[in-house]
Amino acid sequence: MESRIERLCTASGLRMTHPRRVIARVLSEAPDHPDVQELYQRTRAVDPRISLATLYRTVHLFEQSGILERRNLGSRRARYEPSGEHDHFHLVDLDSDKVIEFDEPETEALMHRVAARYGFDLVSLRIELFGRRTRHNTESRKTPQGSSSTPNTGDQVR
């Protein structure tokens, strides 16, 4: 069965060579937003003959053809995801580089109204949030001289 990205490739008139097919499959199966190094590990697991140079060329070609979108999600390396997915936003964990996707229809509607206010039709929308998990979610964090984790805010126990 053709993967989603393979179908996009065929629709764009790309000739599907074996490496392109493998790379398209790996991309279709990626639940995250892999960068090229991560993609390389995954394509190597499928077919170790696909070189990093071929991977770079193919990703670039897919990007040029509008099949893939490059996302600059704060890390040093560009990450990729298929084009034409429904609009969604990204929350990037600055400590782990993990990306959480979320929907925010009210914000989306608001951005459409902002564009309309200036006489524009909104074509694409990017919202990327960058953050760190709050302390009580990262129990392995070092605390200064073993101080208690309860912040001294003067709050009384109810």
Which residues in this chain contact Zn ion in the complex, by CB under 5 A? 81, 101
What minimum distance in Å lies between the beta carbon of 15 and Zn ion?
Answer: 28
Residue type, 64: Q
Query: 103 is written with which tokens?
Result: 């929907």
What minimum distance in Å lies between the beta carbon of 105 and Zn ion?
Answer: 16
What minimum distance in Å lies between the beta carbon of 153 and Zn ion?
Answer: 37
- As a whole number of angstroms, the distance between CA 72 and CA 78 comes to 5
Looking at the Cβ atoms of 6 and 81, the one nearer to Zn ion is 81
What minimum distance in Å lies between the beta carbon of 53 and Zn ion?
Answer: 26
Looking at the Cβ atoms of 23 and 73, the one nearer to Zn ion is 73
Between CA 11 and CA 20, with CA 16 as vertex, the angle to 5 degrees is: 110
Partners of residue 46 on adjacent β-strands: none
Helices (H), the chain: 4-11, 18-29, 36-46, 52-64, 105-117
Looking at the Cβ atoms of 35 and 81, the one nearer to Zn ion is 81
What minimum distance in Å lies between the beta carbon of 27 and Zn ion?
Answer: 13
Between CA 59 and CA 25, with CA 63 as vertex, the angle to 5 degrees is: 50
Looking at the Cβ atoms of 50 and 92, the one nearer to Zn ion is 92
- As a whole number of angstroms, the distance between CA 71 and CA 33 comes to 8
Looking at the Cβ atoms of 84 and 154, the one nearer to Zn ion is 84
